[in-house]
A = this chain, B = another copy of it.
Amino acid sequence: MKAAAECYLCLMSQVLRTSRVLGLNEALSQTMAREACAFLAETDFDRTPPEISEDLYRLLSELSGNEDPYAEIKKDNIQKALKLYPELKQTVEASADPLRAALEISLAGNIIDFGANAEDDWLSDRRFLSLGSLALDDYDQLIKDLERATSIVFLGDNAGETVFDRLFIERISKKVRYAVREKPIINDATAEEACLSGLPEVAEVISSGCRAPGTVISQCSADFLKILKESQLIIAKGQGNFECLEQIPGPFYFLLKAKCEVVSRYLGVEKGSLVLTKSRNFQAKLALNI
């Protein structure tokens, strides 16, 4: 999915949010905003939003000298999520359909995202536990494909929801590989955050090789691509992974909150909807032209 005009505005809002997270003074905040504008005026918009984001956040890191502005926020979100974990696990186990309950919790965890939205009170009001129905819901098909699959990859998204993804993966009685970003980008999970979330207890944590906030195939490591090609089911979490992968034929299911107008419009759902959707380009094995 290519970036749209609205992405200019969203990216600028991320620049200002990052300035606040970094605690920059007014002069430095203005410098950062100005440099971001210069970047946006020149960068190729005939790309997916995560590819543009990656370049923008690299610029912000260079300007601020901070490679991981969201480090503390990531840790904090994981701690908060881990505190909820025992209670949520009981909720799942007491449910009539534990897999479905765990999937909904994993999906609701996708509200945590400082890229698209700043909802830092996501835990305090426990909104994420009172889900409405999903705007797109291919659960029945997912279950069938999950039963058939012997090789499963879960593409993670943000730090914090990683704990809720663990709840879901626990319910899958098969080997799952959990893929994370290669290096810090916004609040996305890297191997470090996956470990802090306890994911190694239920999955093999692997790096995609990407440091974009999404799985950009051209950046993926050869090892990771080999794993993807051999997979019979790839569950991709979040907007970034959706934006990067929805055009690529393969065994993809997308699990995301549609956080912006651009993605919501593309999916044909209301902004803010929770979505579990089988790829429109679904096929049994990943086909790549690279």
Contacts and interface: CB of A to CB of B under 8 A. Distances in A.
A34 B40 contact: yes
A15 B37 CA distance: 13
A37 B5 CA distance: 12
Interface residues of A, number: 24
Contacts of A4: 26, 29-30
Interface string A32-44: 1111111011100
Interface string A65-102: 00000000000000000000000000000000000000
Contacts of A40: 33-34, 37
Contacts of A12: 8-9, 12
A45 interface: yes
Contact of A5 (B6, B8, B29, B41): B29
A48 interface: no
A34 B43 CA distance: 9
Interface in A19-33: 19, 26, 29-30, 32-33
Nearest to A3: B30
A13 interface: yes
Contact of A8 (B26, B33, B41): B33
Contacts of A30: 4-5, 8, 45
B41 A34 contact: yes
A6 B13 CA distance: 9
A98 to B, nearest CB: 43
Contact of A16 (B8, B33, B45): B8
A55 to B, nearest CB: 14
Contacts of A6: 16
Chain B CB count within 10 A is highest, among A4, A5, A30, for A5
Contacts of A38: 37-38, 41-42
A8 to B, nearest CB: 4
A74 to B, nearest CB: 24
Contacts of A42: 38
14 contacts: A4-B30, A5-B16, A5-B33, A8-B15, A8-B30, A9-B12, A9-B16, A30-B45, A34-B41, A34-B45, A37-B38, A38-B38, A38-B41, A41-B41
